Structure 1
Amino acid sequence: MTAAAPQAAAQQEGARRLRAGVIGLGWAGQQHLAAYAADPAVDLVALSAMEEHLLERFGEEHRVPGRYRDWRQMLAEAELDVVSIATPTFLHAEMAIAALEAGVHVLTEKPMAQTGEAAASMVEAARRAGRVLEVSFNHRRRGDVTALKTVIDSGVLGDIYYAKTGWIRRQGIPGLGTWFTKAESAGGGAMMDIGIHMLDMTLHLLGEPGVTAASAMTHAEFGPRGRGGSGFGVSQLEDGAPFEVEDLATAFLRLDGGATMLLESSWAQWIPEDLCYVTLYGADGGATIEWAGGPGNHRITVWTEVEGIPAELSPQVGEDRGHAGAIAEFLQAVRSGDVAAHDGSLALRRARVIDACYASAAAGAEVAVEG
């Protein structure tokens, strides 16, 4: 394939309807298929899942002709232009690479892969194939994040030198005894699952500074005792399925230019209600986004000075775009033909930071982040 071929192919794709497929029909996969089905320039032609009842239900609901238990068969037969991967983390790299090698553009759920090494193999495959590879970080498309990004880019806060961010659940370990809590399949616990959302959101707000080093610690106090599951009280752990990941992680990150970030994530903690936040400290102002008790309760506040008078601002917040926004941007990238700018590199940088956090926790020392 010549250097011009991928761009020419993508431009051709931009001029016609795109054929889309979805692998995995859990909650995230359902968000993807709904977004494709709602796009008038997309034909949702194939679904793949192990659960027959989900294939039948969503296939009938959205009139999808291709329904496959075997995702490889779907890639071979469905003549896809784009595919979303919403499966357990350990399957992302294998599925994405196979799709890219088949000439299909790929949008995968976060986290990108269990390790930075696996994520790097996905980026290499995208570059070889000349296809788009993106990762769905839906929380950066929230209305409050978009509003705060506008404030930051206007210069109101000045140079931002410190950020604190975290997602702490009162009780929310996903799937005790399932792939979520096994090291080999998930790659990690709370940091890998929800901490990566806050890492992505905060680096996005800060304008994508590089992360140079991490000093982290992990804890597992709830999961090993069967506590902290998505229900109430003590959950019954499955026989032979020990809790192998952390339920709380904290990290101190050094950023390019001398700024620093404190990142915390927890699936279960003795707190009154779930809390998710980003707080930024700038030379000319500060700002915070926070939701407590559920993602519908968003608050955004900015503190600064106006003509020397201390002022508190409440920026107007637009709609949350979530997964629909991530999928719209993915399709726009496919149609643009600019595959080099959408090869998964940004998500790979996130994976490298998470790798360094886990390495630091294991070593009990600060660890450099691989470039």
Structure 2
Amino acid sequence: MQKVQHETGKILNIGVVNRFNSGVNLIKQIIDDGELGELYHVYVSFRAHRSIPGLGGAFTTKAIAGGGALIDWGVHFLDIVMYCTGDPKPKTVSGQAYCKLGRDMRNYAYVDMWAGPPDYNGTYDVDDFVTAMIRTEGPSITLNGAWAQNIGESEMYIDFLGDRGGIRLQYGSDFKLYSAKNGVLLETKPKFKSVNMFQNEIDSFLRSVRTGEKLPSHIDSAILTSQIIQGIYDSSDQGREISFV
């Protein structure tokens, strides 16, 4: 698709809506302005307690969905990281994906299942937990993600770690900025006007159709996240680090 886009000159943007989120763009501006200093590492957590969607259905069938927690939730978290750090090219990826908690489908205990009731005659062969280490031309990235874990806490956040400051973004919510000045530790929770990111994405796409503007969601940027995700799965399957260089 990327190759055809370049050959034809058509516009190809990917639906990565967080790139049109007001808070995410403010974080990107803070990083670009150097307020965190050298951004050396980003930690990603998308972990929930026994929340496998539609057990036995399309979500848990690899032949249909392509993957589990990483490809469902991880893509959004990684895309935020890549966008805010300037879409650095990945260098190496080492990861491990696990398919554990839902394998005994009939005995899987849960509170609710948002993608529909279980289909005990269906399939469960996707990752419900994943961990990875990614080296890029910018900061290193580590992640832990789980549709289902035997820890009763939901941890959905991204930590941006710089030598002058740091940011914790609560996914889908606000963020805090941590820094120090004159020997004093500072914690700031910015308040800002937020626009509807879906409408912003739609308006930006229409503008790009009219003007030819290359949006942050252009295939050349968004594909890097997909390459990292594929690298994590390949690393897990092959039991080795995957190199992109």
* TM beyond 0.5: yes
The Cα shift of 1:309 comes to 2.9
Indicate the residue corresponding to 1:172 in structure 2.
51
Which whole-Å CA distance do the structure 1 matches of 2:124 and 2:234 have between them?
Answer: 19
Counterpart amino acid of 1:249? V
**Matching of residues 1-371 of structure 1 within 5 Å:** 122-226=1-105, 227=108, 231=112, 236-239=118-121, 241-257=122-138, 259-291=139-171, 295=172, 298-319=173-194, 321-338=196-213, 344-369=219-244
Distance 1:188 1:230, change over 3 A: farther
Indicate the residue corresponding to 1:96 in structure 2.
none
Which whole-Å CA distance do the structure 1 matches of 2:75 and 2:146 have between them?
Answer: 12
Which whole-Å CA distance do the structure 2 matches of 1:191 and 1:170 have between them?
Answer: 15
Moved more, 268-277 or 130-139: 268-277
Task: Output one character per residue of 1:40-79: Cα deviation in whole Å (capped at 9) or x when no partner.
Answer: xxxxxxxxxxxxxxxxxxxxxxxxxxxxxxxxxxxxxxxx
Which whole-Å CA distance do the structure 1 matches of 2:27 and 2:136 have between them?
Answer: 20
Which whole-Å CA distance do the structure 2 matches of 1:189 and 1:170 have between them?
Answer: 15
SS in 2 for 1:218: strand
SS in 2 for 1:289: strand
Which whole-Å CA distance do the structure 1 matches of 2:104 and 2:193 have between them?
Answer: 42
Give the unaligned 5+ runs of structure 1. Answer: 1-121
Counterpart amino acid of 1:260? S
Distance 1:271 1:342, change over 3 A: closer
SS in 2 for 1:287: strand
Q: Quote the RMSD (CA, aligned, Å).
A: 2.4
Q: Select the structure that is richer in helix.
A: 1
| Cα pair 2:57 2:118 within 8 Å, conserved | no
| Cα pair 1:136 1:323 within 8 Å, conserved | no
TM-score for the superposition, normalised by structure 2:
0.87
| Cα pair 2:90 2:228 within 8 Å, conserved | yes
SS in 2 for 1:125: helix
Which whole-Å CA distance do the structure 2 matches of 1:313 and 1:175 have between them?
Answer: 39
Which whole-Å CA distance do the structure 2 matches of 1:368 and 1:159 have between them?
Answer: 24
The Cα shift of 1:279 comes to 0.4
Distance 1:303 1:172, change over 3 A: same
Distance 1:142 1:168, change over 3 A: farther
| Cα pair 2:40 2:140 within 8 Å, conserved | yes
- Residues matched between the structures, number: 240
The Cα shift of 1:247 comes to 0.7
Distance 1:313 1:340, change over 3 A: closer
SS in 2 for 1:135: coil
TM-score for the superposition, normalised by structure 1:
0.59
Which whole-Å CA distance do the structure 2 matches of 1:303 and 1:341 have between them?
Answer: 27
Which whole-Å CA distance do the structure 1 matches of 2:184 and 2:14 have between them?
Answer: 43
Which whole-Å CA distance do the structure 1 matches of 2:141 and 2:32 have between them?
Answer: 19
The Cα shift of 1:285 comes to 1.1
Which whole-Å CA distance do the structure 1 matches of 2:20 and 2:128 have between them?
Answer: 26
